[in-house]
């Protein structure tokens, strides 16, 4: 590190020495003419100024260099301390794996099954609420005679038909009258048309329409805000 006191001492010594030298030189110039004496003084002044300039420049260069070295060393020290405190972790790139198609299909199938179960339960709840259909189907009617069963069925039929008309829209698959002769060309939908009897070979098939079939044209089911699988809640009477 540059010692400023030593620098000041050097400058002070140079200036003092210069003044002493001038005090010695000036009496020697008394015998010279005024112009010569002025030229000598100017030359001495220029020399002393140049020497002083060079000394100051060298001293300042040393100071600037030392300050730069100190700043670089300080920065390196701070960087080293930062690396110790916050170690540089290599960037890890997360590679997103595409979902497994089997997993996606399983999830979709599960959601479809849940919605299907909910709709089935809702339709059964509708028939149960209107016509007590579940109670009737779960009842053992073997002990009842035909007249008793017929009387119960008449009421259940009426209420369930009203419920179906209120919430479901049904349409026949075939518009022809039952009992009429039908020709089935190739390309028919086997899920909508069931071929029975003596069916062999390839279409076209000729047969008799025994049943027109039914297709669900629309629903008007209300929104569900309760457990989706409850058809009818249990009833407890508090005594």
pLDDT of residue 141: 86
pTM over 0.85: no
3-state helix, strand, coil in the chain (%, to 5): 55, 10, 35
Task: Give the span between the Cα atoms of 158 and 149, in whole angstroms.
Answer: 14
Q: How many CB atoms lie within 10 A of CB 44?
A: 16
Question: How confident is the model at residue 49, as a pLDDT?
Answer: 62
DSSP annotation of 229? T
**Segment 159-185 mean pLDDT:** 91
pLDDT band of 176, cuts 50, 70, 90: very high
- Residue 80 confidence (pLDDT): 72
Listed by start position, the domains of the chain span: 4-85, 111-180+215-233
Name, of 5-19, 61-75, 94-108, 177-191, the range with top average pLDDT.
177-191
Q: What pLDDT is stored for residue 13 in this prediction?
A: 60
Smallest Cα–Cα separation from 17: which of 7, 25, 28? 25
Most confident of 141-145, 213-217, 220-224: 213-217
8 Å CB contact between 103 and 110? no
Report the percent of the chain where pLDDT is more than 70.
Answer: 65
Please determine, for residue 168, whether its predicted confidence score (pLDDT) is greater than 80: yes
> What is the predicted pLDDT for the residue at 57?
63
Q: How many residues does the chain have?
A: 239
């Amino acid at each position: 590190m540059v010692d400023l006191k030593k620098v000041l001492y050097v400058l002070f010594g140079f200036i003092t020495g210069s003044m002493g030298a001038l005090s010695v030189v000036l009496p020697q110039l008394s015998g010279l003419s005024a112009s010569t004496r002025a030229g000598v003084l100017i030359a001495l002044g220029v020399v002393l100024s140049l020497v002083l300039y060079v000394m100051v420049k060298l001293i300042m260069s040393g100071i600037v260099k030392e300050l730069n070295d100190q700043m670089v060393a300080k920065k390196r020290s701070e960087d080293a301390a930062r690396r110790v405190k916050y170690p540089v972790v290599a960037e890890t790139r997360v590679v997103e794996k595409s979902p497994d198609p089997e997993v996606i299909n399983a999830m979709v199938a599960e959601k479809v099954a849940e919605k299907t179960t909910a709709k089935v339960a809702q339709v059964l709840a509708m028939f149960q609420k209107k016509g007590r259909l579940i109670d009737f189907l779960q009842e053992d009617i073997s002990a009842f005679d035909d007249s008793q069963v017929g009387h119960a069925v008449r009421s259940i039929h009426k209420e369930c038909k009203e419920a179906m008309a209120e919430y479901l829209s049904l349409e026949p698959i075939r518009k022809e009258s039952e009992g009429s002769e039908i020709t089935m060309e190739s390309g028919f939908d086997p899920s909508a048309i069931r071929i029975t009897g003596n069916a062999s070979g390839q279409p076209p098939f000729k047969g008799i329409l025994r049943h027109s079939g039914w297709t669900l044209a629309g629903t008007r089911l209300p929104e569900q805000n309760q457990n989706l699988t409850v058809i009818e809640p249990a009833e407890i009477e508090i005594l």
